Amino acid sequence: MALLEVKDLKMYYKVRRGDVKAVDGVSFEIEKGEAMGLAGESGCGKSSMATTLLRLLPNNGRILDGSIKFDGKEILDLPEEQFRQDYRWQRMSIIFQGAMNALNPVHRIGKQISEAIITHENVSKNEAKKRAEELLEMVGINSERYRNYPHEFSGGMKQRAVIAMALACNPDLIIADEPTTALDVMVQAQVLEAIQSLRKKMGLSMLLISHDLSVIAQTCDKVAIMYAGRIVEYGPSTKVYNNPLHPYSYGLLSSFPDIMAPRSPIQSIPGSPPNLLEPPSGCRFSPRCPLADSKCFTDEPELMAIDGKNHLVACHKAGALGKVGEQS
């Protein structure tokens, strides 16, 4: 039984002009101890997926349909107070995108970590303080920095502190939403290494959200490629990285430089993600796809197994990816 099972999940934002279809029929599973990556451009619904799982939606966000099962139990049906007490931070926690915005600037770092422990567990302030100090040490921060304020930490240290906060209640699943945003390359590598080490040490499952497929290939067991609120490719990370079946996946990979390959111009994906108030009919990537024909603009492709039963793709042209490179 999967730790997290998401099926046909739909979450829309209600605005004056209609519904923004941020998560529109998404399905995936994460096994116990497994790491899954969720990749795609900005505006494709990745962060909306994360906040939907934790039910941290703004007032205009609403879950219309679908199922979220955690350890076999449907959690969408739970009252908010029960979900907050029993699941959010206890069993699922999140490393927010941009640690600078995730930490309260007027409270000490240690107090912010201790507060999560006290809120969800019946422990004393001293016990919570001791555990917060241990968590800081675990992520590579001296416990003496417990009383420091966020402005006294560097960007990398703030991100490590947010990781410590996510681990405060020993969750089973961590959602890491672009955990290396605004960090330089060296610090990014250190933070990702710390997350990987802690995940393996504590036996955690993880959902890593990123636009960088190379990072996901190095840190995750499988990956889901998200575009315009839907998953267009889903499978083992190495398979998707080495043999992308969807033109969008191919475009994401081609947009990053390869330091091992001969020097050449970086390929980009033309255009931008569609307006999710009125997404295109048929395949949502068709207006930007170099392989699209009339069928792509009218018929919506289903997510189907192409390269083995565990590698799925939603594309009418999945077998013609070589032509993408020829046209670039």
Per-residue pLDDT tens digits for 55-94: 999 999 999 999 999 999 999 999 999 999 899 999 999 9
DSSP β-ladder status, 35-39 and 92-95 = unpaired
The pLDDT score that the predictor gives to residue 324 is: 42
The pLDDT score that the predictor gives to residue 96 is: 83
The pLDDT score that the predictor gives to residue 197 is: 87
Q: List the chain domain ranges.
A: 4-91+171-327
The pLDDT score that the predictor gives to residue 180 is: 77
Q: Which of 182, 172, 20 is nearest to 96 (CA)?
A: 182
Residue 154 has pLDDT above 60, yes or no: yes
Q: For residues 247 and 327, is the Cβ–Cβ distance under 8 A?
A: no
Could you tell me which residues come within 8 angstroms of residue 142 by beta carbon, excluding any fewer than 6 positions away?
136
The pLDDT score that the predictor gives to residue 99 is: 67
Q: Which long-range contacts (CB under 8 A, 24 or more apart) does 196-203 make?
A: 198/138, 198/139, 198/163, 198/167, 199/35, 199/174, 202/167, 202/170, 203/32, 203/33
Mean pLDDT of the chain: 89
> 4-91+171-327, superfamily in CATH?
P-loop containing nucleotide triphosphate hydrolases (3.40.50.300)
Tens digit of each residue's pLDDT (9 = 90 or more) over 204-240: 999 999 888 878 888 899 999 999 999 999 999 999 9
Tens digit of each residue's pLDDT (9 = 90 or more) over 185-206: 777 788 888 888 888 888 999 9
Residue 328 has pLDDT above 50, yes or no: no
Is the pTM above the cut of 0.95?
A: no
More confident position, 304 or 256? 304
DSSP β-ladder status, 173-177 and 92-95 = parallel
Q: What percent of the chain has pLDDT over 70?
A: 94
Could you tell me which residues come within 8 angstroms of residue 220 by beta carbon, excluding any fewer than 6 positions away?
35, 36, 37, 206, 208, 237
Tokens of 15: 């605005």
Tokens of 89: 């931070």
Q: How confident is the model at residue 26 (pLDDT cuts 50, 70, 90)?
A: very high
Alpha-carbon gap, residue 155 to 102, rounded angstroms: 12
- Burial category of 233 from C-beta neighbours within 10 Å (exposed 0-12, middle 13-18, buried 19 and up): buried
Q: For residues 8 and 65, is the Cβ–Cβ distance under 8 A?
A: yes
Alpha-carbon gap, residue 220 to 233, rounded angstroms: 15
The pLDDT score that the predictor gives to residue 183 is: 72
Of the listed ranges 49-53, 254-258, 267-271, 324-328, the least confidently predicted one is: 324-328
Average pLDDT over residues 301-310: 84
DSSP β-ladder status, 4-15 and 73-74 = unpaired
Question: Element (H or E) spanning 135, and its range?
Answer: helix 125-138
